[in-house]
Structure 1
Amino acid sequence: MDKRGRKVGIKSLLEKITPQDNEQIGGAQKQILYNVIGFISASDFADNGALISNLGYLLAEKNFNTCIVDFKVFYPTLYNYLDLEHNERGKGLLSVLRDDKADIREHINTTKYKQLYLLSPSPYDLIEEYVDFKFEYIERVIEELKEIFDIVLVDIPNNPPLEFCLASMKQVHRGFITVSERIESIVNATKLLEFANSVGITTAKFTNMIYVNTLNTNYDYGALKETELKLVAQLPLVQGVIEEYFKGNIYMKHSSIINKQYVAGIHNLMQIILG
């Protein structure tokens, strides 16, 4: 159950979709050539939660059935951003990974936002429960979600020895690296891509960089010119984003005062995803 008493899971909802609705959903999905989108942070102070939840809300508002996947299995946070109760230990993502016969729809959380869903681990799962999953486990989950939803947004942990990191980087159609205005950001991003490439993971889809929580400092963005990375959005540190998070609200939905630069950045990302 979520904080408002709604039943967790979308199976009954999807079973009520009419054939006409199915055609519309399929049509939307076909318009998006690359519908599995990954986000991985490469520096401190670059939490993806606010970015992904606001972007997911905006895509859902555009009538795309959108599922957010939290693969930060050791420290999941996205259920807080979407105002959901955490899963019980062993429920949610872990159940799906353990049983390839499980109906994934039964383990997805509905949110209070129309057409926006979450697949998440429990914060009370034990760390050792996730260390033995191989690439094919993660790939199977992503493939199943890709067939159900118009858009899948994946929060990828920056932990290359963990299969959830590299398998996600391999499986997503388009990737974004998020960083903050820190000196080591570009070096960290470059090292991450070099390592992924060294083990056979193509990194061409991870050339887009997003700066989050920017502070209007004299940060040297010119250093990006020495890399193959492309700056596609800058999201300022906005007090309202934090305030709405503590209320369990989406900033772009609930805040009475919206930062124009933040909105422009999120809309720019949405346009890139929708092509």
Structure 2
Amino acid sequence: MDRREAEIKEILTKISSKDLIGAELQDSKLIYSVVGFLPASDGVDNALLISNLGYLLAQKGLNTCMVDLKVFYPNIHHFVDAVPPKKGEGLIKVLKSDKIDLRDELIVTKYERLYLLSPSPQDLLEEYFDFNFEQIERVITILKQTFDIVLIDIPNNPPLEFCLAAMRSCHLGFFTAAERMEGVINMVKLLDFANSVGISTAKFTSVILMNLHHIDFDVSVMKEMGFNIVAALPFVKDGVARSNKGKLYVKDNPLFNRQFIKEMHRLADQLASQ
């Protein structure tokens, strides 16, 4: 508990509705500090991507917060070997009241400058049905004003407010896709729907290809539909095995896939220089 409080105190000031009145909160030094990741097909693993990317950004000296908005099935805590919140704590507690101290609901990972805001796996599904855009965007705004960079794992569930509210709050967004043709269809359908309700979709035109098995796949379809492939991560068996044990593939791995490491570092460099 002492380490937890000491580490958070270094980067946070006590934030509540009372403190926000007239307070001068500093924005991140990055222009695009809120980054969202949206799965476009089966066969991707956003938690693996976000946990490893978050670690690399933290190693660059950026205070980094990962946000798991997959409220029905949170899993990022597994990937960083962290204990998830208890029932009714974590993300849901911050959403319910603007008087909650954010510091008390953050998970301090064992990696320096890397934090996590997560739902509890024990929360009931129906508890998340009634949250609105304003509540979700309030939490994201506080995180944006608190951390250098915020990485959001967004559920691809358009009727759920957590999907569209996060899309609207992001400065920059990435679709993650595997070698499946339905990925392109799913991206187009989601962006069309988001656009129909007034959400800007221009920031979600970049695609990260994940878990590639070198299947004969026509990537030109994505380009023809206006999407830009910014990274291609091969499937790495050891990466999945490590994540199942709560270990990061990009950290202290003597035998690594050079393509995976190269693409991850390139993504981290791009985000850190925005």
Instruction: Give the TM-score normalised by structure 2.
Output: 0.91
CA distance in structure 2 between the aligned counterparts of 1:46 and 1:179, rounded to whole angstroms: 6
CA distance in structure 2 between the aligned counterparts of 1:261 and 1:209, rounded to whole angstroms: 17
The answer for the alignment partner of 1:263 in structure 2 is 261
Q: May I ask how many residue pairs the two structures share in their alignment?
A: 260
CA distance in structure 1 between the aligned counterparts of 2:221 and 2:270, rounded to whole angstroms: 23
CA deviation after TM superposition for structure 1 residue 225, in Å: 2.6
Which amino acid letter does the alignment assign opposite residue 156 of structure 2? Answer: N
SS at structure 2 position matched to 1:152:
strand
Which amino acid letter does the alignment assign opposite residue 146 of structure 2? Answer: I
Aligned residues with identical type, % of pairs: 50
Equivalent runs, 1:98-137 vs 2, <5 Å: 98-137=96-135
CA distance in structure 2 between the aligned counterparts of 1:222 and 1:77, rounded to whole angstroms: 32
In the TM superposition, what whole-angstrom CA distance separates every residue of 1:175-198 from its partner, at most 9, and x where no partner exists? 000011012111111111111111
1:13 and 2:7 aligned = yes
CA distance in structure 2 between the aligned counterparts of 1:133 and 1:103, rounded to whole angstroms: 19
In the TM superposition, what whole-angstrom CA distance separates every residue of 1:59-96 from its partner, at most 9, and x where no partner exists? 00001000000000000010000101121111100110
- Any stretches of 5+ residues in structure 1 without a counterpart? 1-6, 19-25
In the TM superposition, what whole-angstrom CA distance separates every residue of 1:137-156 from its partner, at most 9, and x where no partner exists? 11000000011100000000
CA distance in structure 2 between the aligned counterparts of 1:159 and 1:271, rounded to whole angstroms: 30
The answer for the alignment partner of 2:142 in structure 1 is 144
Q: 1:172 to 1:8 in 2, by over 3 A?
A: farther
CA deviation after TM superposition for structure 1 residue 10, in Å: 5.1
CA distance in structure 1 between the aligned counterparts of 2:180 and 2:201, rounded to whole angstroms: 22
Q: 1:16 to 1:269 in 2, by over 3 A?
A: closer
1:217 and 2:246 aligned = no
- Any stretches of 5+ residues in structure 2 without a counterpart? 13-25
Q: Could you tell me whether the CA contact under 8 Å between 1:8 and 1:107 is conserved in 2?
A: no
Q: Could you tell me whether the CA contact under 8 Å between 1:9 and 1:108 is conserved in 2?
A: no
CA deviation after TM superposition for structure 1 residue 267, in Å: 1.7
Equivalent runs, 1:68-83 vs 2, <5 Å: 68-83=66-81
CA deviation after TM superposition for structure 1 residue 8, in Å: 9.3
